[in-house]
Amino acid sequence: MFITLEGPEGSGKTSHIPHLVEYLRGNGYVVFPTREPGGTSISEQVRDILHDLKNAEMHPRTETLLYQAARAQIVEQVIKPRLAAGEIVISDRYYDSTIAYQGYGHQQDLDQVRALVKYATGGLVPDLTILLDLDVEVGLKRKKQNESEWNRMDDHEVKFYERVRAGYLEMVKQEPRRWVVVNSEQKWEDVQAELKKAIVGRLKVKSQ
């Protein structure tokens, strides 16, 4: 089973995943957590280029393609083999982030962006995608509390993030069976409980 967590900055993806992994392992599953962009040596090198604040001149198409390069590598080197071995892979972001940020955020042609992500992933679609949804300003405020994590991708105007959020919600409407939306303005513990419920529900369906 392939699970992805999506949502804007500060929505809680990175802080929730280790707890979900621990919970699932405690229930006997073999779980492999990963993150995008990154997760392989090549992909982490691409991540550094994408996040470097020095690269302010990067064009949205360059950005879009670099993400796909990092993604193609992790899909082939890590995600597909783990899934083939029967493991649960949980990824902190996946191709929906490209559609949300480079597509809706940067207002690139959505059909072209969708074609690119399909090429990069070889058509690998998650079994479950959870959107951690929250008000953009609340998310940015949380993120800013940890300035050391601030990177080039965070350095956009609020309007950009509003488009990203609206894009995510539109994507949920288009594929309601793949997505679960969790309100991440709730207390962290309540968000964690909803995440566990969503995953366990989907594991049950899959094992039937």
Contacts with ligand ADP by CB under 6 A lie at 7, 9-15, 142-143, 145-146, 184, 186-188, 191
Least distance to ligand ADP from the beta carbon of 13, Å?
4
Taking the C-alpha atoms of residue 108 and residue 77, their distance in angstroms, rounded to an integer, is: 28
Cβ–Cβ under 8 Å, residues 108 and 65: no
Q: What does the block give as tokens for 205?
A: 């369906």
Task: Pick the closer one to ligand ADP by CB: 116 or 134.
Answer: 134
Q: What amino acid is encoded at 107 in this protein?
A: Q
Are the C-beta atoms of residues 76 and 122 closer than 8 Å to each other?
yes
Q: Which two tokens stand for residue 108?
A: 């690139």
- Residue 12 binding partner per list ligand ADP, Mg ion, none, with a CB distance cut-off of 5 to 8 Å that depends on partner kind: ligand ADP
Of the two residues 15 and 112, which places its CB atom closer to Mg ion in the complex?
15
d(CA 91, CA 111): 24
Q: List binders of Mg ion among 6-45 (CB under 5 A).
A: 14
Residue 39 contact among ligand ADP, Mg ion, none, beta carbon within 5 to 8 Å by kind = none
Q: Of 9 and 63, which CB lies nearer to ligand ADP in the complex structure?
A: 9
Give residue number: closest CB to Mg ion.
14
Picked from ligand ADP, Mg ion, none, the partner binding residue 11 (CB below 5 to 8 A depending on kind) is: ligand ADP
Sheet holding 2-6, edge to edge: 31-35, 88-92, 2-6, 128-133, 179-183
101-104: long-range pairs with CB below 8 Å, 24+: 101/153, 101/164, 102/60, 102/63, 102/64, 102/67, 103/167, 104/163, 104/164, 104/166, 104/167, 104/168, 104/170
Least Cβ distance, residue 37 to ligand ADP (angstroms): 13
Nearer to ligand ADP, 144 or 159 (CB): 144
Q: How far is the CB of 88 from Mg ion (least distance, A)?
A: 20
Closer Cβ to ligand ADP, 4 or 11, answer by number: 11
CB of 190 to ligand ADP, least distance (A): 8
Nearer to ligand ADP, 85 or 193 (CB): 193
* Cα 128 to Cα 4: distance, rounded to the nearest angstrom: 6
| Chain positions contacting Mg ion, by CB under 5 A | 14
